[in-house]
Structure 1
Amino acid sequence: MTTHTASAAETAVAGLRTSFRRAGQGYPLLLLHGWGGSSRLWHYTLRDLADRYMLIAPDLPGFGASPPLSGRLSLERLADWVIAFADALGLERFAINGHSLCAAVAVHVAARYPERVSHLIVTSFSTFRDERERRVVASIHHLMALWLALRRPWMLDVQPLMRLVGSRFFYRLPADHALLRETFADFLAMEQRTALETARGAGSPTISAALAAVRAPALLIACRHDQIMPPPGAPVAAARIPRCRLVWIEQCGHLPMLERPHEYHAILTEFLKDGAV
Structure 2
Amino acid sequence: MGCIRTGKGPVLVLVHGFLSGLSYWHKQVENFSSHFDVIALDLPGYGGETRTTGPARIEDFADCVLHQLDKLGVENFYLMGHSMGGMIAQEIALKAPDRVTRLVLYCTGPNGRLPGRFEPLEESIRKVCERGTEEPARYTVPTWFTLGTEDPDCQEGIEMALQVSRQTYINGLKAMGGWSAEQRLGSIRAQTLVLWADRDRTYMWQQPEALWKGIKGANLAVIPQCAHNAHLEKSHVFNQIVFDFINRRDG
Q: Give the TM-score, by structure 2 length.
A: 0.87
> Are residues 201 and 107 of structure 1, via their aligned partners in 2, closer, same or farther at CA, if it must alter by over 3 Å?
same
User: Which of 243, 255, 265 is the equivalent residue of 2:239?
Assistant: 265
Q: In 2, distance between residues paired with 1:64 and 1:229?
A: 22
Q: Does 1:167 align with 2:142?
A: yes
SS in 2 for 1:73: coil
Distance 1:243 1:23, change over 3 A: same
Partner of 1:82: 65
Partner of 1:158: none
1:49 to 29, 32, 45: 32
Alignment partners' CA distance in 2, 1:146 and 1:234: 27
Deviation at 1:134, TM superposition (A): 6.0
In structure 2, the CA distance between the partners of 1:138 and 1:168, relative to structure 1 (3 Å rule), is closer
By how many angstroms is 1:175 displaced?
Answer: 5.7
Counterpart residue number, 2:52: 68
Match of 1:247, SS state, is strand
* SS of 2:2 mapped into structure 1: strand
Matched residue of 1:253: which SS?
coil
Moved more, 135-144 or 36-45: 135-144
Structure-to-structure mapping, 1:102-251, within 5 angstroms: 102-128=85-111, 140-149=120-129, 150-151=131-132, 162=138, 164-173=139-148, 177=152, 179-251=153-225
Does the CA-based 8 Å contact 2:186-2:214 persist in structure 1? yes
User: AA paired with 1:82?
Assistant: V
Distance 1:145 1:188, change over 3 A: farther
What residue in structure 1 maps to residue 2 of structure 2?
19
Q: What is the rounded CA distance, in whole Å, between the counterparts of 2:133 and 2:190 in structure 1?
A: 42
* Matched position secondary structure for 1:254: coil
Identity within the alignment, % = 23
Contact 1:217 1:244 in 2 (8 A): yes
SS at match of 2:47: coil
SS at match of 1:227: coil
- 1:173 positional shift: 4.0
Distance 1:192 1:60 in 2: 16
Contact 2:149–2:155 (CA<8 Å) still a contact in 1? Answer: no
Unmatched 5+ stretches in structure 1: 1-17, 156-160
1:94 to 77, 87, 91: 77
Structure 2 letter corresponding to 1:89:
L
Matched residues, number: 247
Secondary structure, aligned partner of 1:209: coil
Amino acid of the structure 2 residue aligned with 1:75: I
Aligned partners of 2:133 and 2:169 also within 8 Å: no
Tell which deviates more after alignment, 133-142 or 254-263.
Answer: 133-142
Kindly indicate whether the alpha-carbon contact (under 8 Å) linking 2:195 and 2:222 is maintained by their aligned counterparts in 1: yes
The answer as to whether partners of 1:138 and 1:199 remain within 8 angstroms in 2 is no
Q: CA RMSD in A?
A: 2.7
* Separation (CA, whole Å) in 1 of partners of 2:132 and 2:212: 35
Deviations 1:180-200 (A, max 9, x none): 221001212222222222212
Give the TM-score of the pair, scaled to structure 1. 0.80
Say which SS state the counterpart of residue 185 (structure 1) adopts.
Answer: helix
- Give the 3-state SS of the residue equivalent to 1:65 in structure 2: helix
Encode CA deviations 1:69-124: one digit per residue, 9 max, x unaligned: 58x63111211111101011110110110100110110010011111111111110
Distance (Å, rounded) in 2 between the aligned partners of 1:38 and 1:94? 20
Q: 1:152 to 1:39 in 2, by over 3 A?
A: same
